[in-house]
Chain A
Amino acid sequence: MLDVRKLTKSYGGPSGRRVLDGLDLVVRPGEYVAIVGESGVGKSTLLNLVAGLDLPDSGEILLEGRDLARMDETERTRLRRSRMGFVFQAFHLLPHLTVARNVGLPLALNGQAGNAVEQRVAELLAAVGLEDRAASLPRELSGGEMQRVAVARSLAHRPALVLADEPTGNLDPDNASVILGMLREQIKRDRAAGVLVTHSATAAATTDRVYELTRSGLHLRTDAPLNRA
């Protein structure tokens, strides 16, 4: 479970610009939430803090009860490696690894190898409809296919938290819809906590709850159409 408490972050020192001020957020296992908001309000800052790539000025970021703000960089990196998954707008697949090896990368990073890895990769590729592209290189795939691989990769090691940053920003509506559906399905299946950062109302609608980040803080939007499936 992700539990963010009274999170504060400024840039440019204590007297600098305060981006996040006393922010709270809880995402339970199997929950999938969206964070929307204007550019520059701190969505990426929040995501970096939750991912342990940056440190808050104050507050706590608890993942499965462990506070990221109290960990050193190596501990945060190892936690990210074992308990988090990421989906990026620009896919960011390793161009020289095959689809299967890209998907299996988080497992390899966690020291897993052999049949179990192969089975898990095959299972995920089947789930995202790319079982016949396992040996392909990323450059041989379409944008939608690449993002499906990224989704599979983000879930390969059964993370506790999946962070998706505008995962459909580079895709056409049909492909975007497929990807968003897959992401939700996989998060639900693995009972991960999912956080989707997006500008897209359509994308946000695929989540369980939508929060809007504004300069005054994080607000639950009750008017948003939500996917309750």
Chain B
Amino acid sequence: MSFAARRALLDAAAIGPLRQSPGRTLLAIIAIALGVALGFSVYLINRVAADEVQLASRSLFGMADLSVMAPGGGFDESLYPRLAAIPGIAVASPVVEAQARLPGRNQTLKLVGIDPFRAARLQPALATSGASAGQGQTLLSEDAVWLSPSAAQALGLAVGDRFDVQVALDPVSLRVAGLLPAGEYRQPLGMLDIATAQWRLDRLSRLDRVDLRLVAGADPLAVQDAIRSLLPAGVRLTTPGEASDDAVRLSRAYRSNLTALALVALFTGGFLVYATQSLAVARRRREIALLHAMGMTVREQLAASLVSGALVGVAGAALGVALGIIVARAGLATFGADLGAGYFRGIAPELTVHPLEALAFLALGIVAAVAATLGPAREAASVPAAAALKAGDEAPLAARRHGWIALGFAVAAGAALLLPPLEGIALPGYTAIACLLLGAVFLAPTLSHLAFDRLPAAGPPWLQIATAQLKGTARRSTVSIAAVLVSFSLMVAMAIMVYSFRNSLDGWMQRILPADLYVRSGGSSLTSHLDEAAQRAIAAVEGVARADFVRFQDIALPGPGLPLTVIARPIDEEDAGRILPLRRTDPDPAPPGTVPVWASEAALDLRGFDLGTVFDLPLGGQTLRASVRGLWRDYERPGGSIVMPREVFVRYTGDTRATTASLWLMRDADAEVVASRIRAALQRGGEFEIAVPREIRRLSLRVFDRTFAVTYLLEAVAVLIGLFGISASTSSQVLARRGEFGMLRHLGVTRGEIARMLAFEGAALGTVGVLTGLVVGFVVSLILIYVVNRQSFHWTMDLHVPWLLLAVLSLVLIAAAALTAALSGRQAMGEDVVRAVKEDW
């Protein structure tokens, strides 16, 4: 076939249909564009954020080959000269790291104490950019700190300015002595001399890290063995790559969840392409038959349909990629790199787009559109020419039932649920959800039969016609039902999951905050804390009946993974259930010689700390035997945590600092009055927070709602696409049924009756989609709650169903379906429909 002939054929069978219905073509393009845009923007934001975190982390290690580190408490500095003396070590650079609270600024700043002369050998940027000798001398000044330009900008400081950092409850004044090179130190941080850091940050004789560079040609394994032989418990040897990977691992589950949700939008976009293409086939039945009759082969017809889908895919995906870049840019500017989740505070990355990434998402959009066209294309290719060209012929609209395929997907979903997470990502859970949704789509024809076959033919004629239409057009109905089903089930699943999470979080906070008043200064890695003097002052405040002081401390356990948080607080086996939201407890007594600890669900999942487990716990350079007495729910620390008696913690670490004070007040004491007395007793210039549990809960739930804001947006888009599906389906049906509507208008059916007929059909289809969506959505929510959340974040939650919300959403969606159908069917009421009775072959 010549090029001209091919072009003519392509124009008739592939491009023509798109041009024929520009509105629907545009709708399909927009649906694909929205899906690609969401997926690409979420991917870009995630990638840019992860890159930035890794880059920031690596920049601090410089050219180091290895690093010895102990998160949280650090280790004794006597280890440093012993490490430096190991044969094969060329450079050993000691580091003190702390997250400093900045009083009066509601911000924190990462402070890194280095030995400028040694650090310059690992970080050439230090040596080249600021003339290391001069810079070192400046750094050596006892109050000097060099800020990264981003920190200087965020804090509004210039060289020569002074600012305070808070150590315990006391302000410590530092001077901005210079600015670090912007290219190498992009993250907000301050660098100071290690001696200054140890002295001013109350870290005397402690180090957090020693970065090591090996002698060229040294046997790395031998050097590592030598290093390990010197490491006390809780100190680990790592590579800079592993350390920076850890920095992004914490947020990986959150990011993968967002990506999965964004890809759902692409799935629904693809579904809309399926809807428009399959209805176009129904509408173009005679046209297709004519092309067959004129000699177009089945293969050519199939190819033409696929080209038509691919064209929609190319246009949609290209638009989506462009839109995705714009959305990512706006998302980074508005919500930050973590879309409001709080993982990457202080990171302000710039958006970079690699051509290959853009091409990958372009391909994804095209594949989605072509895959969605496959079914309708096969249907178009199988139109029987002779029958379809006959006057009075109607497309066979009885739906093919796919019960077995639906069952297959359900079995696949069940099988996926038995699989463990992949690299910490709940991929099997998502696979199960995808299988369930696909299964539900294939079940739609059966549902359509079940719902409409027994509908009585009663009521006014318009109702009888609508009922007959629903019974007789299962194939078309299937598309509408599936569109509503997919989008609504996702909405239901997310609504139940978020509601369950919110209620569980609220209930958890009520359990975890049993005291009347809380005083907090700092966290596990902050320089601010309640020292012994502050603790004594708080305990002595009039009106305080009991004061429990709690210390949070991150520790490194042997092996890879995130640090484990030790929560040291007054606790014993008798009152553990009163203080902690325990899930299970060990009825047997703790083995002799072990310290009782209570492990979080994440510690169980990630470390295997089940009831009765006895394990080695490195603490203060020593190792103690700990026995898990109970499992509790912890929504704060996805890396895992254990609660242990504070007196044991203090005995092993000598660390008497506290992060939080839980205060039980005397019977007649007023919380506000006691809070005022505490403020008066702790007037040292530093900051701390005093809050009643109700206030803490309110603030936490506000953060929760902000975190889930982006998921609500994605849900709304999915539902919008679902309604687009109904609109496309109805519009196409109206076109396909123009003759019928024209005849009805001749027979004296009013416009209002046709509108009621279409609205009833839309509402009926919407109702089946919504009811099925409720069931499928409920099952998906169970997977999200019990599988995806557990595998991603390692915590459980209780099931709470927002009945009222679901009832309102169901009614709104059914009403929207009726309205959409009636509005989309406006053509059915116009004068041109009357003339449609003449438009025959």
Contacts and interface: CB of A to CB of B under 8 A. Distances in A.
Interface of A: 44, 48, 51, 53-54, 73-74, 77-82, 84, 86, 88-97, 101, 105-106, 108-109, 137-139, 143, 146, 165, 170
Given A53-B834, A90-B841, 17 more contacts: A44-B838, A54-B831, A74-B750, A77-B745, A84-B746, A84-B748, A88-B743, A89-B391, A90-B739, A92-B739, A94-B468, A96-B471, A105-B747, A108-B464, A137-B472, A139-B393, A139-B394
The 3 closest A-B pairs by CB, nearest first: A81-B748, A96-B472, A90-B840
Nearest to B472: A96
Contact of A146 (B392, B457, B840): B392
A115 to B, nearest CB: 16
B390 interface: yes
Contact of B749 (A73, A81, A92): A81
B394 A95 contact: yes
B392 A165 contact: no
Contacts, number: 94
Contacts of B170: none
Contacts of B748: 77-82, 84, 106, 109
Contacts of A96: 468-469, 471-473
A106 B747 contact: yes
Contact of A108 (B393, B397, B461): B461
A77 B750 contact: yes
B837 interface: yes
A91 B391 contact: yes
Contacts of A138: 392, 394
A64 B472 CA distance: 39
16 contacts: A44-B838, A77-B748, A81-B749, A90-B392, A92-B743, A96-B471, A96-B473, A106-B747, A106-B748, A108-B461, A109-B461, A109-B747, A109-B749, A138-B392, A143-B390, A170-B840
B473 to A, nearest CB: 7
B747 A93 contact: no
A219 B583 CA distance: 96
Nearest to B391: A170
Interface in B382-406: 390-394, 397
Interface in B734-756: 739-740, 742-743, 745-751
Contact of B746 (A53, A89, A90, A91): A53
Contacts of A73: 751
Of the candidates B393, B457, B461, B834, the one having the most CB atoms from chain A within 10 angstroms of its own CB is B461
Nearest to A96: B472
A105 to B, nearest CB: 7
Contacts of B391: 89-91, 143, 170
A51 B746 contact: yes
A97 B472 CA distance: 8
B250 interface: no
A78 B747 CA distance: 9
B452 to A, nearest CB: 10
Of the candidates B394, B461, B468, B748, the one having the most CB atoms from chain A within 10 angstroms of its own CB is B748
B468 A101 contact: yes
A80 B751 CA distance: 13
B746 A80 contact: yes
B42 to A, nearest CB: 44
Nearest to B462: A109
B468 A77 contact: no
Interface in B102-158: none
Contacts of A91: 391-392
B392 A80 contact: no
A51 B745 CA distance: 10
Interface in B618-673: none
Nearest to B834: A53
B692 interface: no
Contacts of B351: none
A90 B739 CA distance: 9
A73 B831 CA distance: 11
B465 interface: yes
Contacts of B390: 143
Contacts of B392: 90-91, 93, 138, 143, 146, 170
Contacts of A143: 390-392
A77 B749 contact: yes
Nearest to B460: A108
Given A90-B739, A92-B739, A92-B837, A80 B747 contact: yes
Contact of B747 (A44, A86, A90): A86
B477 to A, nearest CB: 11
Interface string B806-841: 000000000000000000000000010011011011
Contacts of A105: 461, 465, 747
A84 B748 CA distance: 9
Contacts of A97: 464-465, 468
Of the candidates A79, A88, A93, A106, the one having the most CB atoms from chain B within 10 angstroms of its own CB is A88
A91 B746 CA distance: 13
B352 to A, nearest CB: 57
A139 B749 CA distance: 23
A89 B837 CA distance: 8
B321 to A, nearest CB: 43
A40 B571 CA distance: 97
Contacts of B742: 92
Contacts of A86: 743, 746-747
A96 B394 CA distance: 10
A98 B561 CA distance: 69
Of the candidates A48, A82, A146, the one having the most CB atoms from chain B within 10 angstroms of its own CB is A48
B471 A81 contact: no
A50 to B, nearest CB: 12
Nearest to A44: B838
Of the candidates A91, A94, A146, the one having the most CB atoms from chain B within 10 angstroms of its own CB is A94
